[in-house]
Amino acid sequence: MDLLLIGPPGVGKGTQAARLRQTLDIPHLSTGDLLRRHVSEGTRLGAAAAAHMRRGDLVPDELVTEMALGQILGPPCAAGVVLDGFPRTPAQAEALDVALAAHGRRLTAVLHLNAPDRTLLRRLTGRRTCGGCGDSYHLDTRKPRTPGRCDSCGHRLVQRADDTAETARTRLAVHTRQTQPLLARYRLAGVLHEVDGCGDVGDITRRLLAALAPHTVHSSAC
Ligand code: AP5
């Protein structure tokens, strides 16, 4: 089953993708996490992506598409994947559809999470991320047991460079301009599900699983 979680920055794609991965036993692929790893390791791709990410702009299609498709078509994701952050432009969506079709696959469902901008800005500016294992926390809604330290590995928590209020606003505008148009494509394809991204994390997971129920019943019956 190939799933896409789509929605604005801070809506909870990463949080929910990790929970779907556990429940459905499908790997989670975050292009944001992959790109940040390239940046921190100083690879050529990371060097090319860093300035775009710092500004809150999208990384050019050709760089992201090659990186993402390499993972999506690789052995760990051969039986399906929860996509988080890819595709984000019409060109990326087209490349994904073509690549999946060439392997007899297609997006089973596209789950669109949404929430008001004021909620998104609060989630983004309050997020703190573990510099060691990448776990995500929030100053108000997901506090670590020891302030400033990761519960899982004890590393220091840091604010992502693109989570300042100014860059977060840029990212929201970029999402509206470049990614939101993809919703029409997936609505037309009959795979789009609208899911409310407000409220308790567990409640949102239940809404996502409810939206997926017809697909999971169908695939186990085959
Ligand atoms: P990426 O890392 O994908 O960032 P994003 O899409 O902006 O999404 P976020 O990771 O900020 O938010 P999220 O929706 O995952 O929310 P989360 O679960 O963390 O991309 C970063 C950059 O990389 C892009 O700007 C771009 O430059 C580049 N890039 C990546 N993919 C690309 C592509 N395909 N093409 C081109 N460029 C690309 O939650 C946020 C916070 O809220 C956390 O603190 C969490 O604990 C909290 N929270 C979550 N759910 C709830 C809840 N229900 N209630 C209260 N708090 C909650």
CA 164/CA 187 separation, integer angstroms: 33
Q: What is the mean pLDDT of residues 22-37?
A: 95
- Give the pLDDT score at 80: 95
Condensed to tens digits (0 to 9), the pLDDT of residues 116-133 reads 999 999 999 999 999 888
The best mutation among 21, 31, 71, 119 to test binding of ligand 1, ranked by most ligand atoms within 8 Å of the C-beta, falls on: 31
Mean pLDDT of the chain: 94
| Three-state secondary-structure class, residue 66 | helix
Distances (CA, A) of 197 to 106, 147, 203: 25, 27, 9
- Give the pLDDT score at 185: 97
Q: Report the pocket of ligand 1 as residue ranges, CB < 6 Å.
A: 9-15, 30-32, 35, 52-53, 56-59, 64, 85-88, 92, 123-124, 127, 136, 138, 141-142, 162, 171, 201, 204
What φ, ψ does residue 192 adopt, rounded to 5°? -85, 135
- Residue 54 is a catalytic residue: no
Confirm if 80 and 72 have CB atoms less than 8 A apart: no
Instruction: Decide which of 126 and 220 is more confident.
Output: 126
CA 53/CA 203 separation, integer angstroms: 31
- Exposure string of 145-182, with b = 16+ CB inside 10 Å and e = fewer, is eeeebbeeeebebeebebbeeebbbebbebbeeebeeb
CA 111/CA 77 separation, integer angstroms: 19
CA 104/CA 99 separation, integer angstroms: 9
- Give the pLDDT score at 215: 85
Residue 87: cis peptide before it, omega within 30 degrees of 0: yes
- Give the pLDDT score at 216: 77
- Residue 105 is a catalytic residue: no
Query: What's the 84 CA to ligand 1 centre distance in angstroms?
Result: 8
- Residue 160 is a catalytic residue: yes
- Residue 118 is a catalytic residue: no
- Give the pLDDT score at 218: 46
- Give the pLDDT score at 217: 57
- Give the pLDDT score at 41: 95
Condensed to tens digits (0 to 9), the pLDDT of residues 157-211 reads 999 999 999 999 999 999 999 999 999 999 999 999 999 999 999 999 999 999 9
Active-site pick, 13, 36, 122, 128: 13
Condensed to tens digits (0 to 9), the pLDDT of residues 80-96 reads 999 999 999 999 999 99
Type of residue numbered 55: R
- Give the pLDDT score at 221: 36
- Give the pLDDT score at 222: 33
Give the side-chain half-sphere CA count within 13 A for 185. 18
